[in-house]
């Protein structure tokens, strides 16, 4: 499990967010983020993230700071520092909880950090 989450996190830090979802999510994976946005399948998660990715002008930083691994659950603390096409800036300190089954993510929740 540790290898899987480390590989996924490396993809995310390289900006390969959509590719990470494609590779690591189960077809029926569900997600929910701190804004209340939900996805009820891998395809819905990809579609939702595509909309966000298309709004990004420049990635200043995507970094992972801490990772925790338990029984079929992982946690990762990320910083996302982005310049958006509309001129706004996004700085997210985010905790990502991933629930795994058979090497795939079946549920992922995103918590807003401080």
Q: What are the tens digits of pLDDT across the range 36-62?
A: 899 999 999 999 999 989 999 999 999
Percentage of the chain lying above the pLDDT 70 cut: 100
Q: Residue 1: is its pLDDT beyond 90? A: no
Distance in angstroms (rounded) separating the CA atoms of residues 105 and 5: 10
3-class DSSP string for 65-97: EEEEECCCEEEEEEEEEEEECCCCEEEEEEEEE
- pTM recorded for the entire structure: 0.90
- The gap between the terminal CA atoms of the chain, to the nearest Å, is 27
């Amino acid at each position: 499990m540790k290898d899987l989450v480390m590989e996924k996190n490396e993809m995310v830090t390289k900006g390969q967010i959509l590719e990470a979802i494609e590779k690591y999510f189960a077809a029926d994976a569900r997600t929910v983020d701190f804004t209340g946005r939900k996805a009820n399948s891998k395809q819905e998660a990809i579609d939702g993230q595509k909309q966000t990715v298309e709004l990004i002008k420049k990635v200043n930083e995507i970094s992972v700071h801490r990772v925790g691994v338990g029984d079929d659950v992982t946690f990762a603390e990320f910083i996302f520092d982005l310049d958006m096409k509309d001129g706004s800036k996004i700085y997210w300190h985010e905790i990502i909880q991933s629930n795994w089954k058979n090497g795939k993510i079946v549920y992922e929740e995103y918590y807003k950090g401080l």
